[in-house]
Chain A
């Protein structure tokens, strides 16, 4: 069972479960031909995790979809792809369908959309089993319950009848993994399986995936852009850059001694926790603080139900010239606080004072006046710029709204701002869709700075960007902050980013402040259990160090009484998990999905 092809350039090991040989993929588009993958050779062995790393547009997802024969019709594929010894390119539609699921299964990035919201989990799991002829009727249901038990869903007999929205994000990803396992595939392709999840949940899902390869000897092709995930999971790493494979080797080798220029750059760009030493606290001489939030409560009204309290009694302050990092997982209320500080959503109670003025009791005119002194940068570069306005107009819009200057002075200011965010001046005439994500975020920052704000709110400005882009945007941001000296509320879920930027850190959980203080204090010596958990769950891009951290995290979890997140199989079972599998810890203790 080796590659059925005439190009055995490299000696193929005994039983690669998934292999690409001289794979080349081109897309015919409206704008010409896109050479997405330029002849790469890769293989995944049983029980091995191969991580495919690269930035967006490097061709890693295209490579993996080609293994399933799911490329769009405008793609042309050259080279050989084989799954479990069978050549994919010569397969008929029928055998392709059989191969998907039987031999190769996919775990997608977005657990929210990978499950059908109108069908129960039971229906979806049974469908997968019946389609592939694994089990029917009652047997299928029993098998489905067994699979859910394996991936650690508590009380599976009852919960299998529920709909996907009744599960948390982490649990949904577990269900997706259970479905992927349902036909005993020889290889699993996991396309950014944890990108949409919080760090603590990410750590749990990675634990689960790791146990898959150990217990079931499944080969895993892991596609990711996070070097921390690579260090945590991978045996071997392949780095893709613009459709080419630039480097391949063991995880230890590639991550600690990168050979290729690009890999080196990629690794350097990864923000590292604790890389910045102690810094002097910002002292504000006089005058009102940039932002003062006191005992803030924000509620979302729901029809026919109690209002949902998204922010519950939060107090924090931002001095002028200080960057305050607001950290928390999804649902912790960090974006709500940011939006409330901008006056975009009303506060149920409490005070929000910007530059000394309480915006909760302001009428329209002075509020507009105040907004002239505030800037904002949002998370998603694709949606934060109006697609119908050229970049120059986007940046000049705040000046236009507040009738500052004439068109000539605005143009000059735009040019000046474009210089400041390190973009060429010619960009002013381009449209947002012609720019890359990083460039768009620079434009957002330029727009936020166009009125020389005294206070800036940045809501996850870099989390949708590639690491190397993120690094340069953050560097520029720090530089600009020093230059313009604005106070900044910086919202992020990434502790390492906060560590790089902030002077002061506020950790949020479920709408409440868990811990706050000077950055080096909170991040280097956390007092609260939640902060510790967050810090431990963040993976670092060094396999050896990550392994040590993992052990440390396991020990910590044991200490606080949380259960194991690996695959729940009795070890004396036959190799592939048949028979009645019981969870070895069915007490259901601890939040399986990090308490969300």
Chain B
């Protein structure tokens, strides 16, 4: 509708928002102004897949944390994940359509309640995933922003370091770090994982910053004497927030899988702690005789990874509506 001006091709990503010069004559929302955050929220909440993902993730989180409790806080489930007992009915799940029974997910060989164990595993996996996601986002964003803004030798140095991290096989690197940190608890493990997973985001953010720093509002800020740090924090990074949030959600999803793989290989969460990956690893041989020991943690991994991915999809569409088909 509006003519593309000569420099529009050069802009990084002009905001695809309603053109103020165009009149909307049958407005759905009369006389209301939206900030960009509000617009994104509105689009996100109309994305059905993302909403479903969000609902599933919230449900799983609530279930995992309220059922067996966190630390000293007790949950509503009366068993815990360490107490052994007699194996009832071969440890089969007692869960039916409308009732839970004594051991809804069954028991393991030593008679521990498998529901409590899966819940504990979910807790640990979620904590690790979110810590890794957030930490690696912070590292990646800072490195990317500094490299992209300052350019020159700073950029060369930071990006070569990034390349170095990329060329080392991730799983091997994580396994070594995880082995070292694993003994020190799950947070140390999470930090170690964050330390190897920031590379993708650093490159992404650098690319965004490279195009944003050429925009005129950055020149305008420089021309009035704004300091570099303030330009990065106040003018550039807020404009990359879409990319960052989307990358973070996908980083969370992949962190869950990375932690699972590590634990499965025996390098991740160390006993007596449990994660979904270590559950699968411990009971992989039981797949034929007691398949539920494999199915339930597997199902939870699938549900968490899928729902986070759906949320990421929804966020991406919300931040970049031009990709959508119906505007």
Q: How far is the CB of B7 from chain A (nearest CB, A)?
A: 5
Contact between B21 and A379, CB atoms less than 8 A apart? no
Residues of chain A within 8 A of B15, CB atoms compared: 387, 433
Asked if B11 and A28 make an inter-chain contact with CB atoms under 8 angstroms apart, the answer reads no
- Min CB–CB distance A389 → chain B (angstroms): 8
Task: Please name all residues of chain B whose beta carbon is closer than 8 Å to the beta carbon of A112 when the two chains form the complex.
Answer: 9
The total of interchain contacts (Cβ-Cβ below 8 angstroms) comes to: 171
Tally of B interface residues using CB under 8 Å = 52
Beyond A386-B217, A388-B239, A464-B5, whether A31 also contacts B224 by CB under 8 A is no
Contact with A along B43-59 (1 / 0, CB 8 A): 10000000000000000
Q: Which of A110-141 contact B (CB under 8 A)?
A: 110, 112-113
Q: How far, in angstroms, from A388 to B239 measured CA to CA in the complex?
A: 7
Chain B residue with minimal CB distance to A345? B219
Q: Which residues of B contact A110 (CB under 8 A)?
A: 4, 6, 9
Q: Is A439 a contact of B220 with CB atoms below 8 Å? A: no
Distance of A376 from chain B, by nearest CB (Å): 4
With known contacts A192-B3, A380-B216, A57–B22 Cβ distance under 8 A: yes
Given contacts A383-B11, A439-B20, contact A36 B216 (CB under 8 A): no
Q: How far is the CA of A5 from the CA of B219 in the complex (A)?
A: 55
**How distant is the Cα of A367 from the Cα of B9 in the complex, in angstroms?**
33
Bound together, the chains give a CA A444 to CA B11 distance in angstroms of 18
Is A33 touching B25 in the complex (CB atoms < 8 A)? Answer: yes
Q: Which residue of B216, B227, B321 contacts A383 across the interface (Cβ within 8 Å)?
A: B216
CB of A28 to closest CB in B, whole Å: 7
- Select A398's contact among B2, B21, B22, B224, beta carbons within 8 Å: B224
Q: Does A271 contact B (CB under 8 A)?
A: no
A263 touches B (CB below 8 Å): no
**A interface majority secondary structure:** loop
List residues 198-217 of chain B with CB under 8 A from any CB of chain A: 215-217
Closest residue on chain A to residue B215 by CB atoms: A383
Residue contact B9 to A386, C-beta cutoff 8 Å: no
Contact B24 A31 (CB under 8 A): yes
A32 with B28: in contact, given A57-B22, A372-B225, A380-B7 (CB under 8 Å)? yes
Q: Which of A31-45 contact B (CB under 8 A)?
A: 31-36
| Alpha-carbon separation in the docked complex, A112 to B235 (Å) | 30
A73 part of interface (Cβ distance < 8 Å): yes
With known contacts A59-B1, A380-B7, A388-B238, A437–B21 Cβ distance under 8 A: yes
Tell me the residues in window 435-493 of chain A with beta carbons closer than 8 Å to chain B beta carbons: 435-437, 439, 444, 447, 451, 457, 464
Whole-angstrom CA separation of A58 from B145 in the bound complex = 40
For B12, give the chain A residue with the smallest CB separation. A383
Chain B residues at the A interface, C-beta cutoff of 8 Å:
1-9, 11, 14-15, 17-29, 33-36, 43, 215-217, 219-227, 230, 234-235, 238-239, 241, 321, 325-327
The 8 closest A-B pairs by CB, nearest first: A371-B225, A57-B21, A433-B17, A384-B216, A368-B225, A388-B238, A378-B216, A436-B20
